[in-house]
Structure 1
Amino acid sequence: MADIRDKERKQWYPVYTHSRSEKKAYQELLNKDIEAYLPLRRQMKQWSDRKKWVEEPLIKSYVFVHIHQHQQTEVLMTSGVARFLYFSGKIASMPDRQIEELKLVLASAYEFEITEDELLPGEKIIIKAGSLKGMHGEIIKYHSQKQLLLRLGDIKYNIIVHVPASLIERLQ
């Protein structure tokens, strides 16, 4: 039976962690000799008394594990791990290519932003920070988290505005 397990191909699986437990779960997985990947990004954080560079998870509450299928129980028994993700009733796996692409994006000099928001044409928004703070608009086209085509105000001119999605707020 060990021979069958050894021949089984390893796959990448996204694992959902408990809130703010990504680093703890990642370290616990490594301590168990389980290959894991936690994409981190360096960000400047501001407190009332100081600024500091910190490494934060790129995707909140997720760690990726590269395991044989028979190791799934061991992963679930790891401190900080909540559950595997499921797709169509089966534990979701990812191609190696997606993890390599994620590593490549993090290693590149390109600016990027992750958002769970689904921004749709026709949505009314307000810009909540920056030099355009308070400006109302409508999403005409959504290119990326950094580039939104907005119709601003009532003048009906379309202006391409490079605004991070985190700086806009939907209007009800």
Structure 2
Amino acid sequence: MKGDTTTHNWYALYTKSRAEKKVAEGLNKLGIINYLPLKRVLKQWSDRKKWVESPVISSYIFVKITPDQYRSVFEVNGVVAYVSHKGQALVIPEYQMLAMQRTIENKINFDVEAGRIRKGEEITVTSGPLKGIKGIVQNVQGTKKLYLNITNIGYTLVINLDEATVEK
């Protein structure tokens, strides 16, 4: 065996429109670790309303793969491409994936002291479900919202703060 093929990295995949759940199923069948962040939304039809699970970020799914699995994702119908720059798939840092997973799965609210955090500072959450998560402050709106950038996919996680503290 040449090289280290046991290193797993997170990548974002573009999917065909509305194919995210089918792509997740296909990746599961291939044994590829994946994460499809979902949110519950109330959909309105002409005759009824229904709660459905919808992707948090349309046309994206995240995969944690080894170099040997890189091409395997294209065996799944609905996968379009890796999110890449100059032809190189962009690795998403583990701590950013962890922050997104914990935020979405725990429906988190946080607290931060006013005036303590500024745009551009790197912070670490010191308590609550996101304890240990690091991120760069993209924006601070009042004292209750923190915007953490998810590198390489152009999205920002907006976190309402009331149950944890952060430090620079």
TM-score by length of 2: 0.62
Structure 2 runs not aligned, ≥5 long:
110-138, 146-168
TM-score by length of 1: 0.60
Shift in Å, 1:105: 1.2
What's the counterpart of residue 31 of structure 2? 33
Counterpart secondary structure, 2:92: coil
Q: Is the 8 A contact 1:17 1:81 kept in 2?
A: yes
For the structure 1 residues 38 and 109, does the alpha-carbon distance in structure 2 shift closer, same or farther, using more than 3 Å as the test? closer
Shift in Å, 1:5: 4.4
CA distance in 1, matches of 2:30, 2:70: 13
CA distance in 1, matches of 2:107, 2:21: 24
CA distance in 2, matches of 1:89, 1:82: 14
Percentage of matched positions with identical amino acids? 37
Following TM superposition, the consecutive aligned residue runs of length 4 or more in structure 1 with deviations greater than 3 angstroms are 108-111, 141-144
Greater relative CO (CA pairs within 8 A, separation 6+)? 2
Shift in Å, 1:110: 4.5
- 107, 110, 113: which one aligns with 1:109: 107
Amino acid of the residue matched to residue 40 of structure 1?
L
CA distance in 2, matches of 1:5, 1:109: 37
CA distance in 2, matches of 1:56, 1:93: 24
Superposed counterparts of 1:18-57, under 5 Å? 18-57=16-55
Shift in Å, 1:52: 0.5
- 72, 82, 85: which one aligns with 2:83: 85
Determine if the alignment matches structure 1 residue 97 to structure 2 residue 95.
yes
Q: Is the 8 A contact 1:5 1:70 kept in 2?
A: no
For the structure 1 residues 109 and 74, does the alpha-carbon distance in structure 2 shift closer, same or farther, using more than 3 Å as the test? closer
CA radius of gyration, larger in:
1
Give aligned pairs, total: 115
What's the counterpart of residue 64 of structure 1? 62
Counterpart secondary structure, 1:29: helix
Shift in Å, 1:90: 1.2
CA distance in 2, matches of 1:107, 1:15: 20
Structure 1 runs not aligned, ≥5 long:
112-140, 148-172
Say what the alpha-carbon RMSD is for the aligned residues: 2.4
